[in-house]
Amino acid sequence: AADISTDQITLYPCNIGGDFGGKGSFMDVPLCYYLSLHAGKPVKMFMDYIQELMAGNPRHPAEITLKTGVKKDGRIWVRQAYVVFNSGAYGAFKPRVYLGGSDHLGGAYQIPHVNIDSFMVYTNNVPCGHMRAPAKPQVHFAVESHMDMIAAEMGIDAYQFRLINVMKPGDSTPVGKEFQEIRAEDTLRGAAEAANWDGPKSGPFFGRGMAISDQPPGSGRSTARVAIDAEGKVDLFMSLFDTGTGAHTIFRQVVAEILTIPVQDVRMVIQDTDAVEFDSGSGGSRVTYTSGQAVLGASNDLRGKLVSRASELLESDEDQVELVGGSFVVKGDSSRTVSLQDVTAQAVTDAHGPIEGELSYTSPTSEITGFSAQVAEVEVDPETGQVTVVRIVTAHDVGTILNPLTHQGQIEGGVIQGLGYALMEEITTEDGRISTLSLGDYKIPTMPDIPKLETVLLQSASGPAPFDSKGIGESSNVP
């Protein structure tokens, strides 16, 4: 529409924070472009809280109808699903006719026969976009509530009903997707056992509920370049900014692990798109999967070049030289060794500059997904109807954990955000105007609202990301 080519555009990454899909809409880009074109000066656009609440790409409200056929033994046989997503007034914010979470209307269960009708409609409401795990909280709330209703109607315990139907190894999803390493049952059991599902209740107005979902990583493209200097210090060049998830810390850890150097010897250098190739960016639980693989590949590329140089110094074949603890050693002869710093110093001198490794990686659709199951314990005041969440137990099929601190932060942050969405947060309108235009009106969880949080981590060597890891950014926000 602007009649300009991509080579005329340069993107300058910056630290933004507060992502969760809110930066996924490019509504500001054409506005800034035309303003800058006519003004002849740089233009920066930002929105205050009022504007964010009016046009910040929130979740799609949805009307969901489910009809399920169940055999006498408790096995689900067929499901009819019908969903209408309220997209708001302007499709240009997110012009799509299909919202990805719709394919989860079968849940994390084995259902032989499924029919899903999904629609997105224009309304005179706030334009909606891609909020954290698009459409999945809405869809799974309907699916899991429906599961509870069926279990109650059939006189089956809600947990046992889920165990009967949850996906097992070798099963495909209700919409025909096939995944390897399915650990849904283990995850469900992990949450139920940690929560003492069958244990005594504290009173007549106390209840437990559970839900399960899965979240495969998104695909995309990313480029990483690593360069080591004469002192053994490494620069990692990328155009992917960190939205507060700790992604840059993870990348530095990957480089340090491959080159067997301290993490503090690795520095992130964020460059614009003229210096580094296109990057799909942060979103869709793809950063560790896609960008992490780019970093891993670039690090291995550099390591291979250093091994080649070390083999010359050690007068040995390359396949007989390994990098261990910051030194190159000839296999079977520990006396023949040379330090990484000595190798890099010599290599940099010979090359008249840093030694580099690089990889551009396009991730395929993942054959592995990760499961999350949660149990909530609540108390209800019979007079006021006030719901108090006492405890949330969350279990995650995580593969290998690369950074426990950032990993746990994603889990607990997602749980708290989901708690707000379930019980507190709502954009309301009066006479066609939004009435929740401040954080005084639009309630979000604060410290007194947060229940006791417990986490169960099911680790395995099964992830598609570096070192068998899995994404965690959207998982705990859904069930």
Residue count of the chain, please give it. 479
Q: Which domains occur in the chain, in start order?
A: 38-178 (3.30.365.10), 179-214+369-479 (3.30.365.10), 221-362 (3.30.365.10)
Alpha-carbon distance values, 334 to 66, 91, 102, 235, 358 (Å): 66, 65, 58, 30, 30
Neighbours of 302 (CB within 10 A): 25
Per-residue pLDDT at 132: 86
CA–CA gap between residue 463 and residue 190 (Å, rounded): 18
Confidence category of residue 154, pLDDT binned at 50, 70, 90 = very high
Find, among 234, 229, 240, 227, the residue nearest to 270 by Cα: 240
| φ and ψ at residue 120, rounded to 5 degrees | -120, 130
Confidence category of residue 91, pLDDT binned at 50, 70, 90 = low
The segment with the largest mean pLDDT, out of 75-84, 119-128, 332-341, 357-366, is 75-84
- What three-state secondary structure class fits 402? coil
Handedness of CA 350, 356, 357, 361 (dihedral sign): negative
**Among the ranges given (98-102, 124-128, 156-160, 244-248), the one the predictor scored with the smallest mean pLDDT:** 98-102
Judged against a pLDDT cut of 80, whether residue 15 lies above it is answered with no
DSSP H helices, 243-398, are 247-259, 292-314, 340-351
| Tens-place pLDDT, residues 94-111 | 556 567 788 899 999 999
- What three-state secondary structure class fits 126? coil
Per-residue pLDDT at 125: 85
Average pLDDT, the chain: 91
**Among the ranges given (271-275, 289-293, 415-419), the one the predictor scored with the smallest mean pLDDT:** 271-275
Which residue type does 409 have? G
Per-residue pLDDT at 49: 84
CA–CA gap between residue 454 and residue 451 (Å, rounded): 10
How are strands ordered across the β-sheet holding 62-70?
62-70, 76-86, 113-121
Per-residue pLDDT at 203: 87
| Tens-place pLDDT, residues 41-75 | 999 888 888 888 887 788 889 999 999 999 999 99
Per-residue pLDDT at 93: 54
Find, among 346, 388, 395, 389, the residue nearest to 373 by Cα: 395
Q: Average pLDDT for residues 375-396, to the nearest whole number? A: 96
Q: Average pLDDT for residues 192-208, to the nearest whole number? A: 94
Confidence category of residue 3, pLDDT binned at 50, 70, 90 = confident
CA–CA gap between residue 106 and residue 146 (Å, rounded): 11
Q: Average pLDDT for residues 165-174, to the nearest whole number? A: 94
CA–CA gap between residue 173 and residue 105 (Å, rounded): 10
In the structure encoding, which two tokens stand for residue 88, read together?
């708001």
How much is the CA Rg of the chain, to the nearest whole Å?
26
Judged against a pLDDT cut of 60, whether residue 142 lies above it is answered with yes
Find, among 207, 363, 355, 232, the residue nearest to 285 by Cα: 363
Per-residue pLDDT at 420: 94
Per-residue pLDDT at 129: 82
